[in-house]
Structure 1
Amino acid sequence: MRKLIGPLSGKLALYCSDASISRYLAAQSWNVKKAAKMLKASLKWRLDFMPEEIRWDDVASEAETGKIYRSNYKDKHGRPVLVMRPRCQNTKSLEGQMKYLVYCLENAVVNLPKDQEQMIWLIDFHGFTLSNLSIKVTKETAHILEDYYPERLGIAILYDPPKIFEPFWKLAKPFLDPKTASKVHFMYSDDPNSKKMMEEMFDMSLVESAFGGDDKADFDVNKYAERMREDDEKLSSFWKKDDNSASNAQLTVTADPSLEPTNSDSDSEVLDEKVEKPSLDVDEEESSIEETLPGSNSTNANVKAV
C-alpha cells in the first residue's frame, strides 16, 4: 500500500497511519490495488474539502435543532455514538448539510479511544415522515461514508423506523456489501429483543429516552456548543502533531517514481493526476427505490463496505 501511495508529507502522512491503511484494505477485501486507489481518492478529497479545518462556528447553524450530535456517552466497547434525528432537518443546503456531517464524523474520529476505529449511529425515527426523506442527501451521505470513511461504522441502529422502511430495505439489501448490510439493525421500542440488544450495548441510564434510556433531557445547543469548541481545540492539537517521523518513514519506501512528489505542492498535483475522483450527480433524478437508503448505489455499482 505504501509503495503504491508513494511518499506523503504533512497531514496526509499523518492520516495514513497503519490503522487507516488497514481500514481501506478491509473495505476492499484486502485487494491492495483497489485499496490504494480508494485511499488516494480520499487523500485528494481531503486536500480539496479540508475536513480537518472545519470548526463549530462554521457549522453551528446546521446543528441548532440537534439533527446530528455526538452523545456524551459511548457504547460498552468505547465507541463514540452519533445520534441522528431526520425529523429535525432545518436547512436545504446540500453543501451545508454535508459539511456538518463531515464535521460530526471528524469529531467522532478524534474522540475514538486508542483501541477503537469505529463509531455507532443511533437514528431516531420518531416523528419521521416521507417529507424528511431526501434522495440527494442520502446519496451524498452514502458517497462520503463509503468512499472517504471506510470501516468507520460499527453499527447503525434504526430505532422505531416507519413500516414503509421495511420494503425499502428488502429491495436495497441485495445490492449492498454483506458486511455493510449486517451492520444495520432495525429496533423497536415495543420489541423485547430490541430492548435486550440495547441493554447489551449501552448503559441505558445514560441513553436518551427516545431510545428507551433514562436520560430525559432535551438537546441543548448552547451546552453542545461548549463541548464542540473544546473538541475543536483537541482536533487542532491532533493535526499539529509532529508528523516528521511518519513522513520520513514513508519516504524510505521505494515508491513508483510516477507517484513521487517533486515540490512542496506536489501532493495535490500527484493526486490530481493519479486519482480518478469519484463523481456523483446529486441533481440527477432517481427513480430506483433502493437508492433512497443510506449506503445504496445503482444495481450495477461495486458497493464498498462502510
Structure 2
Amino acid sequence: MALRLCPPLRHQFLPLPPPLHSNRPTRLRKLFVHSPILEPNHALKLVTDVKEKLEKDHHNLPVGKYGRDDEDMILWFLKDRKFSVEDAASKLAKKWRQEFGVSDLSEDSVRTVAETGKAFVHDFLDLCDRPVLIVVASKHFPGKQNRSENEKLCVFLIEKALSKLPAGKEEILGIFDLRGFGTDNADLQFLTFLFDVFYYYYPKRLGQVLFVDAPFVFKPIWQLAKPLLKSYASLVRFCSVEDVIKEYFTESTIPTIFRD
C-alpha cells in the first residue's frame, strides 16, 4: 500500500477549516504553534465587519461569488491575515479578479497555450484527496511564448483545480515535472508570479509543491526564487518520479506523464 504523506495540521481554528499543512511531518515538533480558538459568533462578526467595511469604502466592487459580499472568500482572507479586519479588507479591495478577467477565462480562451501541454489539471485526486495541478517545465519557453497568455492559463488552471475540491477539502497539490529542464525553460518571473497568485489571491489553498527530478541546472534558479516565494518556499519538496508514484497516487491514478 502506498505511503500517505498527508501532513498533520499545524494550526487549528474551530469551527473553521484548517490552514496550511507542513510537508515535513518528522519535524513538526519544532514547527507546531498553538493558535487561539475562534468562537463561531466571533468568526461571523469578523466576516460581517469586513463586509460592512467593503460596502462602505469600496461600494463599487462587484457582489456575488468572489465579490465583496462573498462570505466564504472573506473568511479565507481573514484566516490568511490572522483575522485582522483591516488587513483582510485591504487585500480583498484589490480588484485583481475583475482586472485580470478571471470570470471570463474559459477552456476556449486558453486553448492555444493549453495545447502546448505545459500545464494541466490531473483527472484524479492524490492520496490526500487533493486536486493536482501539473506543470511540465520542459514545455515552457518564456522567450517564445506570450507571458500574458501563460498567466491566464495559470489562473484558469488554479480555478479549475479548486472546482474539483471534494467536500471538506481545501488544498491542492502542485507538481513541477522538471525532467528535461534547461536554461531555455528558466523563467524566474513567471515562477514568482505563480506563487504570488497563491499568496495574495488564493491564500491557504496550496497544500504542497513537488519539484520532480530537478536537474543540476535548476539549482541556481531555485536559489534565486526561494527568497521571493515567502512562506510558500517551505511547502516545496524535491523528490523523484518514484516518490510521486509510490507516495501520492494509486496504481490507477498515476499521471500518464509519470508512467513512462
Provide the residue aligned with 2:27 in structure 1: none
Structure 1: segments with no counterpart, 5+ residues = 217-306
**Residue 60 (structure 1) shift:** 0.8
Letter of the aligned partner of 1:144 in structure 2?
Answer: V
**Residue 97 (structure 1) shift:** 0.8
Are the counterparts in 2 of residues 52 and 106 from structure 1 also a CA contact under 8 Å? no
Distance in 1 separating the partners of 2:132 and 2:254: 10
Q: How does 1:1-306 map to 2 (within 5 A)?
A: 1-6=50-55, 9-13=63-67, 16-18=70-72, 20-41=73-94, 44-89=95-140, 91-170=144-223, 173=226, 176-178=229-231, 180-189=232-241, 195=243, 199-208=246-255, 210-211=257-258, 215-216=259-260
Larger mean Cα displacement after TM superposition, 202-211 or 76-85? 202-211
- How many residue pairs get matched? 204
The DSSP-based 3-state class of the residue aligned with 1:57 is coil
**Residue 109 (structure 1) shift:** 1.5
The DSSP-based 3-state class of the residue aligned with 1:182 is helix
The DSSP-based 3-state class of the residue aligned with 1:2 is helix
Distance in 1 separating the partners of 2:105 and 2:156: 6
- Percent identity reads 29
Distance in 2 separating the partners of 1:176 and 1:100: 20
**Residue 167 (structure 1) shift:** 5.0
The DSSP-based 3-state class of the residue aligned with 1:113 is coil
TM-score by length of 1: 0.59
The DSSP-based 3-state class of the residue aligned with 2:98 is helix
Residues 139-187 of structure 1 deviation map (CA, whole Å, 9 limit, x = unaligned): 3333323222222211110000112434554565456544x22211110
Larger mean Cα displacement after TM superposition, 1-10 or 51-60? 1-10
Q: What do you get for the CA RMSD once the two structures are aligned?
A: 2.6
Letter of the aligned partner of 1:185 in structure 2?
Answer: R
Distance in 1 separating the partners of 2:161 and 2:236: 19
Provide the residue aligned with 1:258 in structure 2: none
Structure 2: segments with no counterpart, 5+ residues = 1-49
Distance in 1 separating the partners of 2:115 and 2:69: 30
- Work out which structure has the larger RCO, using CA pairs closer than 8 Å and 6 or more positions apart in sequence: 1
Larger radius of gyration: 1
Letter of the aligned partner of 1:62 in structure 2?
Answer: V
Are the counterparts in 2 of residues 79 and 119 from structure 1 also a CA contact under 8 Å? yes
Distance in 2 separating the partners of 1:172 and 1:70: 24
**Residue 126 (structure 1) shift:** 0.8
Letter of the aligned partner of 2:101 in structure 1?
Answer: M
Distance in 1 separating the partners of 2:225 and 2:191: 13
Residues 15 and 119 of structure 1: CA distance in aligned 2, closer, same or farther (over 3 Å): farther
Residues 198-244 of structure 1 deviation map (CA, whole Å, 9 limit, x = unaligned): 53332243213644xxx45xxxxxxxxxxxxxxxxxxxxxxxxxxxx
Large movers: runs of 4+ above 6 Å: none
Residues 110 and 17 of structure 1: CA distance in aligned 2, closer, same or farther (over 3 Å): farther
Residues 4 and 164 of structure 1: CA distance in aligned 2, closer, same or farther (over 3 Å): farther
Residues 103 and 176 of structure 1: CA distance in aligned 2, closer, same or farther (over 3 Å): closer
Provide the residue aligned with 2:41 in structure 1: none
